[in-house]
Structure 1
Amino acid sequence: MACELRHPRPGHPVAVGCAGWSLPTDIAHAFAAGDSALQRYASRFPIVEINSSFYRPHQPATYARWAASVPHGFRFSVKMPQAISHDARLRGAAPLLDTFLHAAAHLGDRLGALLLQLPPSLAYDGRTASAFFRALRRRSAVRVACEPRHPSWFDDKADALLDDHGIARVAADPARVAGADQPGGARHWSYWRWHGQPRMYYSAYQQPQLCSLVAAAVEAAQAGEAWIILDNTAHGHAVPNALQLQSMLEHANA
């Protein structure tokens, strides 16, 4: 399906990938051969989101092995541990940041982004958020995307704080609160996380929905690079949806 774009002029790249690199058997033929699922995944997609780092730490050697198995231009987005976002709730998290960032740094120049997903119960507190982001920025210049899920994060004050620290606010689907489906914060890059509708993680997206996403991403890419991550992985829909998005983007840029 070709998407009719309101602003088809050239912009920055729009990169498409998935949360994790598991490949459904019925679509594995669309990928090149490789020694691992990650190598095969990276033959088609330029980015991937590591979600397992949210639940458990990975060894530096693991990150280094992943980096060595992908092409030069490939980039990882690494989700920050729940110990930082959910347990510490961003307070006193510097030691946890040090451990996490030391390990993730072994991705080298394949480390393209850090993802911070906040619990729905975590309300915006300017002092806490600013202290955390200052601590993070003292330790890393890597691009950061934040996915807040409490309504208090979706106002001008919170948006300005994210922008001050160079943090992009995730555009999420389904949107838990009004405005959560639109990118916010710093706009030098944009980050979409689509989790599946109507059933989160399980449902596939249909072409009209994907076409609207392509149009939004191409529009945002006029200001900076745009990343799209498909997280509807439970029934294997993320990979075919991501391939559909790539095809739509190719038609849009033709």
Structure 2
Amino acid sequence: MNQMSAIYVGCAGWNLPREYWPLFTGHGTHLQRYASHLSAVEINSSFYRPHRPQTYFRWTQSVPASFRFSVKVPKVITHVQRLQGCELLLDEFLAQCSALGESLGCLLVQLPPSLVYDEAIATAFFQALRQRFAGAVVLEPRHASWLSADDLLIEQKIGRVAADPSPIPGGGSPGGWSGIHYWRLHGSPRIYYSDYDPSRLQALAEHVHTSAREGIDTWCIFDNTAGGFAVGNALTLQALSASISTL
């Protein structure tokens, strides 16, 4: 039997809407308060601008040893360069976020909807990334052509994100390399705004728990932050998953 793997549940960013303040410790920074109850966070700000290594180091010093960060790969790599000629950019990015040390749990590569899968370009990019980074990596493609990239993703040990809603057929389930499962809940039907109802969260908790029980490192990140529902959904999912573990 596989050993139960970790389940990392959190949000895109550690903003705490005021209505959830009573649920979190009243002391410390927003990140320290957030990390007192949730086990992971996705850093999306790295997509838009670089952060100094000292900033990443300060963040990792603010969280428990078991807490993990997922870091979004910069837009200049995925959307401007479109995965081409990125070696120096990867060096710069990894030099920054590696200051997280053991708290760096995953890199998220999110692609623009217009980026069609090109095997040669994708192979060169992921080989360059893997020459520099051996940790967990997940890909969120948004063009259906990337469904034919599974052989490459398996070879390079890259998981494909299970997104909701997903713009590609079958994109709501994890794909690619089976060593990591990463759910990204954007809010449905209204992206970034919609709340997830209890029945949907219960079903998700069962999927997440099954994944971890199979020995797969499992992530679930709520990105429905615009309406303030992400924190509540993450707390509910975490509680539901824990209750399944006790059955």
Per the shorter chain, which TM-score range?
Answer: over 0.9
Partner of 1:233: 225
Question: SS in structure 2 opposite 1:65?
Answer: helix
Report the counterpart of residue 201 of structure 1 in structure 2.
192
Tell me if structure 2 keeps the 8 A contact 1:75–1:112: yes
User: Alpha carbons of 1:10 and 1:30: their partners in 2 closer, same or farther (altered >3 Å)?
Assistant: farther
The equivalent of 2:41 in structure 1 is 48
Give, in angstroms, the shift of residue 154 of structure 1. 1.3
- Kindly state the Cα deviation for residue 34 of structure 1 after the two structures are TM-superposed: 2.9
Hey, what does 1:5 align to over in structure 2? none
Q: Give distance in 1, aligned partners of 2:4 and 2:176.
A: 20
8 A contact 1:189–1:223 mirrored in 2: no
Q: Which runs of 5+ in 1 are unaligned?
A: 1-8
Q: 1:42 and 1:168 mapped to 2: Cα distance?
A: 25
Mapping of 1:99-138 within 5 angstroms?
99-138=92-131
TM-score normalised over the length of structure 1: 0.93
**How far apart, CA to CA, are the structure 2 residues paired with 1:10 and 1:133?**
29
CA distance in 2 between counterparts of 1:177 and 1:133 reads 21
Paired residues of 1:10 and 1:253 also in contact (CA < 8 A): no
Q: Which amino acid letter does the alignment assign opposite residue 12 of structure 1? A: S
Give CA deviations for 1:96-154 in whole Å, capped at 9, x if unaligned. Answer: 10110000011111111100000000011111111000000111112101000000011
| Consecutive unaligned residues in structure 2, runs of 5 or more | none
In the alignment, the residues of structure 2 paired with residue 38 and residue 194 of structure 1 have an alpha-carbon distance, to the nearest angstrom, of 21
Which of these residues, 156, 161, 176, is aligned with residue 170 of structure 1?
161
Residue 154 of structure 1: SS of its match in structure 2?
helix
Residue deviations 1:2-40 (CA, integer Å, cap 9, x gap) = xxxxxxx97323221110000111111111233200000
Q: Identity of aligned pairs, percent? A: 51
The secondary structure found in structure 1 opposite 2:70 is strand
Letter in 1 for 2:230: A
Secondary structure at the counterpart of residue 134 of structure 2: coil
SS at match of 2:233: helix
Letter in 2 for 1:149: R
